[in-house]
Structure 1
Amino acid sequence: MSTATPPVSSKLFGLFCLASYLLSLSYGSTFLLSLLIGSRGGNEHDAGSVISAAMLSTFAAVIASGHLSDLLGAARSVALFGLLLVVASLGFALTPGLGHLLLFFGLLLGLGWGVFYTLGPIIVASLVTPVQRAKYFALLSGSMMTGIGSGPLLGRVASALGFPVTAAFYLAALASLIGVLLLWQLDRHLKNASLESTAVSRISWRATAQVLSSRAVFPIIMVGLGGCVFGGLSSFQTSYAAARSLDYSLFFLGFMGAAISSRMLIAGFVVKRDPLRASCLLSGLMLGSILLFGLVVDDGLSYVVAAAMLGVGYGLTYSVINGLVANEAPTGTTAQSLLLFSLSYFIGVFGFPLLAGKIIVEQGMANLLLTVIAIALLNWLITLGRLIWRHVCSTQAMQRV
């Protein structure tokens, strides 16, 4: 039998990706919170506070997800906590005005999204062989990115049809509910297709120390920095577009279109390349896209081009470093490394919007873009530094021979 034969059926994995897409719509709709809260008299700082409330609950989600997986099974754990995504989306739509209730629904969002985002890659890691992980991680993250990008587009469609922005949150809640039901049904099939037990999903201080003292710490740091870039730009894209008299849907169309097409057309090629070189090139592309947002974008075409560059750079970088963290983790700590990878991502994507909203309100959008550029530059320098260090070590090894 060919080693290229996938150990999991295309139909099963396709249904899993469909469920992932549907659940991701609920998180994608949160990029409309700035618009929703603005319509109720709030500002970007208020929106950032709601989004960042999710960061607190994701810590609990990441720590508990391994125990939940051992107790209930990974897919059913995601399904149960996916119900919180449904409740959060409905809560954002139904809560009048501002106030602490929105923060509560932000916490629910963090719990639901945290369990899903953490256990999703662990499910994939158990279904495929190590050499296939980067490819299947790319397919999973592509499904999630598509759902995330589709969330804000629901708001644009609702607006075009004369409905309020809350309609997008209602639709996201319905989609997430369908995803929950689908995952619940898939649980037994995913367990049967698993190549390895997920009973080592629990995180511990010993495993954490092992992972963070290994080379896996670099992709873990990078995903957190990338999360800051993505969270900062996406959460306040409605404000950025309004300041430049642009249509925010162009950003999400460009981003999502590029993320999907790059995974369909070139992800298979990219994941077979040297991961350090690939991540360096792609994180450089992401940096270039943010420079465009800050210095070049002034019409619809340049807006779409910058968003598409971000979609390719950020989307494929994530896929590469997701596979890298799994394969660079010490033996027996793959699940724990993926948990820490998710935790770092959440710190960036949920934590940074609080600072980003404050920067916009007090210093303006231009200063936020400068901050995001600095973060993206640091992200790129990590990969460049690793490449240079590897080259130096390789040269020294050859000289000793």
Structure 2
Amino acid sequence: MPHATPKVPGRLFGLFCLASYLLSLSYGATFLLSLLIGSRGGNEHDAGSVISAAMLSTFAAVLVSGHLSDWLGAPRSIALFGLLLAAASLGFALTPGFGSLLLFFGLLLGLGWGVFYTLGPIIVASLVSPTQRAKYFALLSGSMMTGIGSGPLLGRAATALGWPVTSAFFIAAAASLMGAGLFWRLGARLTGAQATSAARISWRATAQVLGSRAVLPIIMVGLGGAVFGGLSSFQTSYAAGRSLDYSLFFIGFMSAAISSRLLIAGFVVKRDPLRASCLLSGLMLGSIVLFAFGVHSGAGYLLAALMLGVGYGLTYSVINGLAANEAPPGTMPQALLLFSLAYFIGVFGFPLLAGKIIVERGMPALLLTVLAVAAQNWLITVARLLWRRSRERAAQAA
């Protein structure tokens, strides 16, 4: 019989979640880049270019993360590349103007975040039994989402105290150093947390996955990432144009995403995944409609953020399971790797287009573009439900 994975000690996993929270602050702080670069004479297109630079290095990070884990162990690989998150935050704060040097720090951000985002869940999977994974994945994602949401709130707190927005990046850098240090110390205690399967991507496996039904949730996570990246990266510009406080967005989104993942994700993932993804992606679409046409006050702004947090946060969990379950036999690790890559294309790649749209056409044009992306995402689920129903009717008729 295979050896059952023991339950991870609560204190150990608590330190793991704390370290994850600290590292996630650096990525969350990038949502302030539009504000920071704007204060230096740049515009949203410049900010989008910096964020999208991370997309290229993230690919490299995801593809080599398994080899790194074989060499150093997953926790210490995260610790090493967590230093790059600290360096990126310091670079954003200290670089004058908005020149090409910021693109370099965007590349560092992608390397650090890609390794952490890929290996973190694999560590959890190696620590707990399959029956415990849903619970511990929810705790990990809640920790990461809290860190991501706290990053821009640091900027709002700095502004309220009369400090420059760069203060948020300095704090994020210090937090990443602490997080990296925690992961390094945890390395000896998180034994067996390797990621050999992440290293085994091939053209053949990729073709198998993309030729199966798993390609649909992979496309969906890319589209959902584009919605999240496009809105979050330029939320400071959106709020300024409507005389609103951008912290309302991040408070609403973060609280809804975390609470829904921790409180009702276990219930949702047990439902019919196609119906659940249709309902949740429809809720996300409704939030974009509200952002585009219905936000006229702080209350409406907060409501739109809450809807996005629930819709986006839970859709991700559902389609992640679909990607794993619909992958051809023997290709589940590759399907999850492609799922992560598609997410990074959306969340890091779309801001480049979004910034260009804002500069050339204005914020309303961006909102209509994001609305079209969200509608496409929802229509995939509608089409899948209709196709399944037609097959069921054909089977009954036969």
Normalised by the length of structure 1, the TM-score is 0.93
The answer to whether the 8 A contact 2:273-2:318 is kept is yes
Residue 266 of structure 1 is matched in structure 2 by 264
Question: What's 1:343 paired with?
Answer: 341
Residues 135, 271 of structure 1: 8 Å contact kept: no
Q: Deviations over 1:39-80 (max 9, x none)?
A: 000000111111111111111112111221222222221111
**2:146 alignment partner AA:** T
| Pairwise CA distance, 1:267 | 1.7
For 1:298, the aligned partner's letter is H
2:196 maps to which of 199, 203, 207: 199
Larger displacement relative to structure 2 (91-100 or 58-67): 58-67
Task: Please give the secondary structure, in 1, of the residue aligned with 2:365.
Answer: helix
Distance 1:226 1:307, change over 3 A: same
- 1:277 corresponds to: 275
Return closer, same or farther for 1:6/1:250 CA change in 2, 3 Å cut-off.
farther
Distance, in Å, in 2 between the alignment partners of 1:104 and 1:149 is 24
2:52 counterpart residue number: 52
1:142 to partner: Cα distance = 2.0
Match of 1:175 in 2: 175
| One-letter amino acid of the counterpart of residue 372, structure 1 | V
Deviates more, 1:8-17 or 1:175-184: 8-17
Residue equivalent to 2:329: 331
Q: Which deviates the most, 135-144 or 207-216?
A: 135-144
223-232 or 389-398, which deviates more:
389-398
Choose 153-162 or 131-140, whichever is displaced more. Answer: 131-140
**Conserved? CA contact 1:138–1:316, under 8 Å:** no
Q: How far off its partner does 1:170 sit?
A: 0.6
- For residues 135 and 317 of structure 1, the distance between their equivalents in structure 2, rounded to whole angstroms, comes to 17
What is the CA RMSD across the aligned residues, in angstroms? 1.8
Q: What amino acid is aligned across from residue 158 of structure 1 in structure 2?
A: A
1:232 to 230, 233, 244: 230
The within-5 A match list for 1:150-161 is: 150-161=150-161
Q: CA deviation at 1:139?
A: 2.8
Contact 1:51 1:106 in 2 (8 A): yes
Deviation string 1:340-365 (CA, Å, 9 cap, x unpaired) is 11111111111100100000000010
Identity of aligned residues (%): 79
Q: Which amino acid aligns with 2:282?
A: G
The alpha-carbon distance between structure 1 residues 132 and 284, as it changes in their structure 2 partners (threshold 3 A), is: farther
User: By how many angstroms is 1:9 displaced?
Assistant: 3.5
| Counterpart code for 1:245 | S
Query: What displacement does 1:133 show?
Result: 4.2
Structure 1 partner of 2:91: 91
Q: Which residue of 2 aligns with 1:398?
A: 396
Kindly indicate whether residue 224 of structure 2 is the aligned counterpart of residue 253 of structure 1: no
Equivalences, count: 393
Deviations 1:185-219 (A, max 9, x none): 22333334x6xx63222122122122222222111
The question of whether the paired residues in 1 share the 8 Å contact of 2:138 and 2:262 is answered with no
Task: Supply the distance in 2 between the matched residues of 1:176 and 1:18 (Cα, whole angstroms).
Answer: 11
Q: Against the structure 1 CA distance between its residues 10 and 222, is the aligned structure 2 distance closer, same or farther, given a 3 Å change threshold? A: farther
Residue type of the partner of 1:106?
Answer: G
Shift of 1:390: 2.0
Per the alignment, residue 285 of structure 2 pairs with 287
Offset from partner CA, 1:74-119 (integer Å, 9 cap, x none): 2221111111000000000011112111110001001111111122
The one of 386, 389, 394 equivalent to 1:388 is 386
User: C-alpha distance in 1, partners of 2:110/2:150?
Assistant: 19
TM-score with structure 2 setting the length: 0.94
Change (3 A) 1:276 1:191: farther
User: Residue 302 of structure 1 aligns with which residue?
Assistant: 300
Q: Partner letter of residue 230 of structure 1?
A: F
Which runs of 5 or more residues in structure 2 are unaligned?
Answer: none
